[in-house]
Amino acid sequence: MLRFIASRLARAALTIAMVVTFAFIVLRLSGDPAQIIMGADAPPEAVDAFRTAWGLDEPIWVQYFSYFWAILQGDLGRSMRDGRDAIVLVTERIPATLALTLPALAIKICLGIPAGIYAALHRNSLADRVVMIIAVAGFTVPSFVLGLLLVLVFAVQLGWLPSGGQESWRHGILPVITLGLGGAAVLARFTRSAMLEVLGQPFIRTASAKGVPWRAVVTGHALPNAAIPTVTIIGFMVGTLIAGAVVVESVFSWPGVGRLLVVAVANRDLAVVQCILLLVAITMVCANLIVDLLYGLLDPRLRAAPGKAA
Amino acid sequence: MPLVSLTGLSVAFDGAPALRGIDLSVAKGEAVGLVGESGCGKSVTWLAALGLLPNKARISGSVVLDGQELIGAPPAILEKVRGGRIAMIFQDPASSLNPVHRIGKQITEALALHRNMVGQAARSEAKRLLDLVGIPDASRRLDAYPHELSGGQNQRVMIAIALAGQPELLVADEPTTALDVTIQAQILELLKDLRRHMGMTLVLISHDLGVVADSCERVAVMYAGRIVEEAPISRLFSAAAHPYTQGLLGALPPMDGPRRRLAAIPGGVPEPWAMPPGCAFAPRCAHRVAACDAGVPGLIPLAASHRVACLQVAQVAMPRESVPA
């Protein structure tokens, strides 16, 4: 078990290092931050001074290694815009984002999983078809379309809810629903196919053949097996808690990490963008690690050796 | 009075018939073999009897267990019958056990359902059952998962689960098909032993005449969703009357004498949605006459407990000289 975790942590570190490198290269190649931040009309001396101040005049590989070295020491750099620490800028936005993504995750799970199970148990019934039509619509419609549609209906036409901003909890309702419905649709489809797959297995027939009532066959025999693929999808959703709301935050003018990312990319505010990407990579890697550990818990076949697993 | 009698049992999937009127009685304590090739309806017969087919199956006819009609019976009745009075084991033991539950739990689940045993009592009974079916180191195996056991051991576990409810009838659906030949023999021996000791009735479903001959007293041969011949096992081998049964016996390799080409039955089984109007075997039959296509022949008694569904039986039936072991 310890070896398993150690190898996973090593792989996680490698993943994060790759993300950092990739982000560095792409951002450096996609335009001159000094020029963008100072503006096109800035005098060349001012732009040069900015370059010197931020170390942008050094050779690229020197910049890369000093950047990497700083990260290893826990220094994620400062925003080129207002000079504050990037990590502070980012972390102060996290609560706002979680205020959207956590309730949305709850909606995804509480709506998507039961809908998927119900559809699988009533395969080809009217209810199954309705659930699947909604589910397909739910994940083919992009979130900005759904968001704007909800604004149109509930904010503009009915006037029940505000269309954007973060003044009260009521402002969060539409963005949470926008995020939640799309994810619930994805989860419903995955849960349905996982359940159908399991319900067709011979051990389900064995359980019925020994006299287990159908309800107990579903809860005791089918669900624990269907949970294994479903957990993968939920893990992926947990991984996007920090940066999964970029589009929705923009549509609803919600001051979270996602909007900060959009602004920082537009400004080539390198330290902030890299700080967010690092945070996203870390959450994704942690979510994957948790999923891997849950697999071992849910599926005895995946435990290393009998008797040795936790 | 028979323990179970099936009368006119028919099953159709999406309009295509899988079973076309099965009449079969099983007496208490006997061992009946059900043979036929894949898709002839051997398994469907018993899955239908226990209500284990998917909802889209259309079932008609009657299955009576000790005076209780099972077709259309409410779930509460069927749940008591399944595992409690009629238990069933299946072809592929590895996938027939739940991969995420321990062996012990899968046995005690049946004990709780049919014998109200829970806790330590259930656990020690589960251990006794594992001992009974010949699993070594039973108390440790209770905590094993199916993937930690071999195929043969998993089939023994399946048998232990089946025995947990103390059923009167065990339906073994191709119990040895997925196993190695040596393990096959062990499992068949175990089934025979259990039957001797517990006086249990056995229905053995197999595509292998040899397996059935070894374990059963009586055999019913199925073809395309119907029983075409039913006889005591020794009589079937010495005086098979249906051309299909004769074809099956002719396809068995002889144990002695010179090597010869095995006699194959020409043609193939008709598809369920394209059944011939009369005898389903007629298109492949050497003795076919016009009357064979006029209607489906019923089972005609030929001798004591020997029935055959063939119009031409007077021409066809003749004792065979050689009787395979």
Chain A 221-280, residues with CB within 8 Å of chain B CB atoms = 221, 224-225
**Distance between B102 CA and the closest CA of chain A, angstroms:** 9
pLDDT at A148: 87
Distance CA B190, CA B209 (A): 18
Note whether B151 and B297 are same-domain residues: no
A219 touches chain B (CB under 8 A): no
Q: Are strands B57-65 and B4-13 parallel, antiparallel or unpaired?
A: antiparallel
A121 touches chain B (CB under 8 A): no
DSSP string, A8-64: HHHHHHHHHHHHHHHHHHHHHHT--HHHHHH-TTS-HHHHHHHHHHHTTTS-HHHHH
Q: Are strands B201-206 and B31-35 parallel, antiparallel or unpaired?
A: parallel
Instruction: Tell me the pLDDT band of B325, cut-offs 50, 70 and 90.
Output: very low
Contact B95, A202 (CB under 8 A): yes
Q: What is the pLDDT of residues A8-66, one digit of tens each?
A: 788 888 888 888 888 888 877 777 777 777 777 888 888 888 888 777 777 888 888 88
User: What percent of chain B is modeled with pLDDT above 90?
Assistant: 59
Model's pTM, two decimal places? 0.83
- Residue B45 counted as domain residue: yes
Say which residue, B235 or B312, is predicted with more confidence.
B235
Distance CA A172, CA A100 (A): 7
Residue B322 has pLDDT above 50, yes or no: no
Select from B216, B246, B266 the last residue of a domain: B216
What does residue A280 show for φ and ψ, rounded to 5 degrees?
Answer: -65, -45
Rounded to the nearest 5 percent, the helix, strand and coil shares of chain B are: 35, 20, 40
Select from B192, B216, B240 the last residue of a domain: B216
Cβ contact (<8 Å) for B95 and A298?
no
Q: B70 contacts in A (CB within 8 Å)? A: none
- Residue B322 counted as domain residue: no
Instruction: Tell me the pLDDT band of A189, cut-offs 50, 70 and 90.
Output: very high
pLDDT at B275: 87
Range from A107-111, A280-284, B101-105 carrying the lowest mean pLDDT = A280-284
Q: Which residues contact B54 (CB under 8 A, 6 or more apart)?
A: none
pLDDT at B179: 83
User: Where in the sequence is the domain holding B303, given as residue range(s)?
Assistant: 222-316
Contact B26, B32 (CB under 8 A): yes
Q: What is the CATH number of domain A94-255?
A: 1.10.3720.10
ipTM computed for the complex: 0.87
Q: Where are the domains of chain A?
A: 2-89, 94-255
Alpha helices by DSSP H, listed for A60-153, are 60-72, 86-91, 94-107, 113-121, 126-140, 143-150
Q: What is the pLDDT of residues B192-231, one digit of tens each?
A: 988 988 889 999 999 888 889 989 999 999 999 999 999 9
Select from B196, B216, B236 the last residue of a domain: B216
**Distance between B223 CA and the closest CA of chain A, angstroms:** 25
pLDDT at B128: 93
pLDDT at A156: 82
Instruction: Tell me the pLDDT band of B6, cut-offs 50, 70 and 90.
Output: very high
Range from A188-202, A256-270, B117-131 carrying the lowest mean pLDDT = A256-270
B101 touches chain A (CB under 8 A): yes
Note whether B166 and B21 are same-domain residues: yes
Note whether B194 and B229 are same-domain residues: no
Note whether B202 and B139 are same-domain residues: yes
Note whether B112 and B152 are same-domain residues: yes
Name the domain count of chain B. Answer: 2
pLDDT at B204: 95
pLDDT at B324: 46
pLDDT at B316: 61
Q: What is the pLDDT of residues A215-264, one digit of tens each?
A: 999 999 999 999 999 998 999 888 888 887 888 888 888 888 999 999 98
A213 touches chain B (CB under 8 A): yes
Mean pLDDT score, B90-95:
90
Mean pLDDT score, B138-153:
92
Note whether B124 and B267 are same-domain residues: no
pLDDT at A102: 93
Q: A207 contacts in B (CB within 8 Å)? A: 98, 109
Note whether B189 and B276 are same-domain residues: no
Mean pLDDT score, B64-83:
93
Count of H-run helices and E-run strands, chain B: 12, 12
Instruction: Tell me the pLDDT band of A147, cut-offs 50, 70 and 90.
Output: confident
Cβ contact (<8 Å) for B98 and A202?
no
Note whether B239 and B174 are same-domain residues: no
pLDDT at B323: 41
Three state DSSP letters for A261-273: HHHHHHHCCHHHH
Inter-chain Cβ pairs, chain A and chain B, closer than 8 A: 78
pLDDT at B315: 62
pLDDT at A157: 84
Residue B321 has pLDDT above 60, yes or no: no
Note whether B84 and B15 are same-domain residues: yes
Q: Which residues contact A34 (CB under 8 A, 6 or more apart)?
A: A47, A48, A50, A51, A54, A56
Residue A76 has pLDDT above 90, yes or no: no
